[in-house]
Amino acid sequence: MASHSPPLPALNVVDDERDQTAGLRILRQFAVFVGVGYLAYAVLTIPAITTSLEVMDTWWTVLALPVTFGTGIAVGLLSWKATARRIKIAAAAAVVGYLVTIGSWWFGWNGRFLDGDSMWFSLFCGLAAIAAAVAFRPAYAFSVLCIVVPATVTINHIVRAPALNGPLLPDMAWAFAFSLIYFAAAVMAMRIAAILDSTRAQAYAATAEASALHARLTERQRFAQLTHDGIMSTLLAAARQGASDQLAHQACVTLADLDNLGSATTTPTGIGVPTEEALAQIRAACTAIDPGLHIITVDTTSREGQQYPLEVVRALASAAGEAVRNSCRHAGATATTAVTVAAHPDRLGAEIVDDGVGFDPRAVPTERLGIAVSIRNPMNQFPGGSATIDSSRGNGTRVLLEWSNI
């Protein structure tokens, strides 16, 4: 049966619903960096803002300051509680605010020249590019960098007195290289965070697929085990022994197991079973095969509130039932069978002993799958599980089933 994994998220997508993803954590950190940066430059550029009033109309400065700094500081304020989508929207607003400022300077310029100073908004064009890296895909963010750096350097050359300007292209290249360092760091950090999120998503998908495969294999094993333990043994008993009360009881139990298998869902994992319930399930599995079976229960050292994994209890009960069935079928007419069920802290076990004819386990033909499929496999599928079969001809048989969490 083919299995299909769920589609993986794109590498540049941040999961808004999980506050602990790498992408969202790094996004918040850069949002804080942008907000603090805008706040710091709002203070540091006060002298440059004051000087710019000589060449810019007051109305333009009054409007440009909140459009530029207000939107940038808002990014940092939203970083604490807002979702990734809102943080990105705020960062995009900061970029737009900065572009509006540099795009409207011409309307506020009064034609005068600065005496060697720079326009205040040109001092942090790289910060606007970092905000773009937070808000947009790398290609779009780089386009913003390619716009703001040449624009601010050109505006400085226009506003300053011509005699005070250096070569335009070298100034532009230096400003671009300086801004590119921080911009590249922001882009790479966001990219790495997205890759971490994608890797996590792939791990989740692989785990889910492995769990589904394990569930299917478990159901197949349960069906194979039921086929051997119930259907085949019932048919063989009917062919060899004819009608009997024991055969009728076994047939009823097998039919009930088939109904349960058809209607049951996958065995849940991680569910704990209290001690008394675990012992009751094992006893029920054994008495379902032989209602007159003598069962000794040892439960003197289990802790209060002790629980055992549900799947372990079911596997141990199934293997114990098969061991009892084999004893009833092969030990001999005069043999007696005794079952001891024991529960201890982090340990659960069952011992099935008979004084019958016994057998040589090494001489069992390979096509006889009863011991391997129905006794060993159910116990060996869990860490700490084991099935020990000790028998020899004329000395009876002892089957020890144990699970330990130590």
Q: The domain spanning residue 372 has which CATH number?
A: 3.30.565.10
Is there a single domain that holds both residue 198 and residue 276? no
Q: Could you tell me if residue 334 is inside a domain?
A: yes
Q: Could you tell me if residue 210 is inside a domain?
A: no
Among the candidates 204, 235, 255, a domain finishes at 204
The residue range of the domain holding 26 is 22-204
Is there a single domain that holds both residue 88 and residue 188? yes
Q: Could you tell me if residue 259 is inside a domain?
A: no
Single pTM value for the model: 0.49
Q: Could you tell me if residue 16 is inside a domain?
A: no
How far is residue 344's CA from residue 303's CA, in Å, rounded to a whole number? 8
Is there a single domain that holds both residue 406 and residue 297? yes
Number of folded domains that form the chain = 2
Is there a single domain that holds both residue 188 and residue 308? no
pLDDT 10s digit of each residue in the chain, 406 long? 333 333 433 333 333 344 346 677 888 888 999 999 999 999 999 999 999 999 999 999 999 999 999 999 999 999 888 888 899 999 999 999 999 999 999 999 999 998 878 899 999 988 999 999 989 988 999 999 999 999 999 999 999 888 888 888 888 898 888 888 888 888 888 787 777 767 766 665 565 565 456 545 655 555 555 555 555 555 555 555 556 655 565 566 556 555 555 544 444 445 678 888 888 888 888 887 777 777 877 765 666 778 888 888 888 988 888 888 888 888 888 888 899 998 888 889 999 999 999 988 777 665 455 676 778 888 888 888 999 999 988 899 999 999 988 7
How far is residue 113's CA from residue 406's CA, in Å, rounded to a whole number? 82
Q: Could you tell me if residue 397 is inside a domain?
A: yes
Q: Are strands 294-298 and 337-344 parallel, antiparallel or unpaired?
A: parallel
**Joined tokens for residue 94:** 């900061």
Is there a single domain that holds both residue 52 and residue 179? yes
Q: Could you tell me if residue 215 is inside a domain?
A: no
How far is residue 317's CA from residue 158's CA, in Å, rounded to a whole number? 88
Is there a single domain that holds both residue 291 and residue 188? no
Among the candidates 189, 204, 219, a domain finishes at 204
Is there a single domain that holds both residue 289 and residue 193? no
Is there a single domain that holds both residue 275 and residue 195? no
Is there a single domain that holds both residue 297 and residue 388? yes
Q: Could you tell me if residue 301 is inside a domain?
A: yes
Is there a single domain that holds both residue 370 and residue 289? yes
Is there a single domain that holds both residue 179 and residue 275? no
Is there a single domain that holds both residue 148 and residue 30? yes
**Joined tokens for residue 226:** 């039921």
Q: Could you tell me if residue 282 is inside a domain?
A: yes
